[in-house]
Chains A and B, each alone.
Chain A
């Protein structure tokens, strides 16, 4: 039976030629996603990839699963409809910083707050790629693009802070060039029950090349990032000699021995939010990994529980009862 056959990465590759620019970070993400999904034990006909518009949104065409390439920014709404219509499906959503945080910011906020069981990959390259290089809602202040020739004066979104603010139950960050970390993060997202948002630093070689190099480039990565993993000490540095301590609302760098243990399931999202705000501080390592992971009621389950309860209580509705109800009278 197809259900039990193990998949290989190749099974998940569609027959379409991948058409991202050579060197684009999207390739690595596609490769990792195909790798981990093949190992989940889910048959490919039960997987649906949904996307909006943008470079990242071509993703579904390259997956040999069901796929819906929708319209700009609205993928969360399509994904919600799909998941509500068939909760058995494994639904993944691919979006970008423009698609997900600009035109589709509203929908992203609502899918996260509802906790629809959909896994969301937000490819953040801090630029509009498909429309050829305009600044995006995550572009840094001062970024010169075709629509910001004197530098952007537009304060950027922090995708992790945004998701936390929406009440997301799973929020993580990873890096396109960090395959091991990315695969572990995607696996954790796949295992989460509820909506999971993974921000992926993705390099756009054409319009914003190297934008994350300062923290994500392999030679500096260990010193410039800190990998938040639940239950693990917050240690970083090539020599793993430094750590983070949380003191009130402040975070300080301390020797590794006195680093705090990271918890992603605190009752309040406060600690995760504090961590997400370290981005603004160039003296601090950039947090990646798992910011938040908590259990919460799942929207699609709640919706169907009500449908089932109504059927249990009233019996499955019959056409006749739909018409012949309430006050009626006869004309003969």
Chain B
């Protein structure tokens, strides 16, 4: 079985869900090996094995925390050479994509970013991507070298396939510091009580129509166990933090349910939510373009509709 390298996305050893999705996809292509950078591997090994990682390569050197992206590039390039891996899978965030791009350059390999599915094919892995604000689906494959692929969160449901992984410490020769970027301070993203935006099954988003106070959105989100999203207009107004922005320059989400209130539906917003399975829209303007995507729409004042929705959810549950 060919070896497939999966870069682990974690916070001090707490493995994030997209990594489990990557391991699940990697099993379609061969035998997954997890590449774990930084401290905390001990607490990650069990879950990595549970999702099918036969090996865990651990690179725990100070450079990993001190510099941006390039330590991961050095590590993955050298491990790809040592293991003769058949493909590399990375998460599709800014860090994952830049790492993948530079690894591909060094390996002389092809690169595919933002895959929403990966399956084996006659000439190596075949990927699926959503492009042009998710109006098109494209399938593609790498034609040169070891395929390097970044995969978006929610591409597949993580499925356990327990094994006991072999843990191997690996030494890596890091490139010159002069070409590296120093990390002066790092504030890990707070994982609050609500699900992560890109990983959530349900996202409830508010836009300019919310007019300042997002409590009305948070109440719906909490009633449904959802993550909170926001349009750029709401974020730019300072009503909600940027990490909740959905769209072209925010998060691209693909939940089971996307509920948008007070959002008009600009192309840049659609680019981040168009692939959601079910879309619900609340807007007081019947001509708001987002209604075109809605499976269910309510033309009305969100300050009337949403509180009633929360009440009704409570009533139905009790």
The reply to whether chain A is a binding partner of chain B is no
